[in-house]
A = this chain, B = another copy of it.
Amino acid sequence: MILVFNNDASEKDIQFAISKIESLGYKPHLSRGVIKTIIGVTGDDRSISEIEFNQLPGVEEVLRVLKPYKLASRDFHPEDTHVSVNNTEIGSGSFTVISGPCSVESEEQIEKSASLLHQYGFKFIRGGAFKPRSSPYSFQGLGENGLKILKKGAQKYGLAVVTEVLSAHDVDMVGEYTDVFQVGARNMQNFALLKALGTAHKPVLLKRGMMAKIEELLLSGEYIMKGGNSRIILCERGIRTFETATRNTLDIGAVPVIKRWSHLPIIIDPSHSMGDWHYVPAVSLAALAAGADGIILEIHPDPIQAKSDGKQSLNFDNFKILINRLKTLAGAMNITIQ
């Protein structure tokens, strides 16, 4: 970190900062420039916050040299992390398709979906039982009963379950049904939940908040890893911007950025980012081409009757067309769709 002093900082201010740096176990390097005085903090300061310093008297600004996360960084762990679930490895160079309905609605719906996914050789099914909804008047999910339906359908076809957990208190209960804990965008900074998942023994699919910088997504991953669980799959699902043509703005550039900064796998959510099934195939193909490790995709046997997110769900016919296009592209790239 580098402390930049303002022009009227006193000698006392500078000495105070030096003492503070030393008291934290770092070495200060003072440099009095033509215009500004700065102090470099030397040492591994990744795990301290700039707020230790930016409140000191005379300090105008604190510039970070090192990223504020460590365990999630590629510097710390140069090889790609592979997350093993259900005999597949996410992040190992294949392209993983996790799909299923937005909400679990009925046994029949899950049966149809699971059967289709099995037929295409996929290993995962997703579905929500506890639905965070902006309006109190919207469908809120089937709750634990939904999880039972989902697990039953998944087991019949040998699929791993991916479902959302909303609170630290639900981790044990949801853990009885799921193979992968999904942390939704609204919970990316639910730190109690992240800590609870840090000691869970199952992988975590961590979605980027719609207001979160990539750096903050990695810091949320750091919370989980600090607890001992490094089986994390990051997920870019669109950020909120001024553009209203799509539900969110898919930040496709996050894929190469995360591949460079971190060793964790990164998948894309084309459904929530677009909010309209018409646009889902284009960005799913883009995800593959950009180097993402997979997609998480909403499908529904009858989107017109869906209780949530029908507009952004592919019906089975369109799902099949997309999978074939993904396979063609993947073939040219020597990548397996799984």
Contacts and interface: CB of A to CB of B under 8 A. Distances in A.
Contact of A7 (B56, B75, B288): B75
A186 interface: yes
A321 interface: no
Chain copies in the assembled complex = 4
B38 A34 contact: no
A43 B31 CA distance: 12
Contacts of A122: none
B241 A246 contact: no
A331 B328 CA distance: 10
Given A252-B286, A282-B291, A290-B282, A38 B40 contact: yes
Given A239-B241, A243-B214, A33 B38 contact: no
B55 A36 contact: no
Nearest to A130: B192
Contact of A189 (B7, B75, B132, B290): B132
Contact of A43 (B33, B49, B187): B33
A190 B190 contact: yes
A291 B190 CA distance: 33
B186 A132 contact: no
Given A47-B135, A55-B303, A211-B242, 13 more contacts: A33-B43, A35-B44, A55-B309, A132-B189, A134-B189, A136-B219, A136-B223, A239-B243, A240-B242, A256-B282, A256-B283, A285-B289, A286-B289
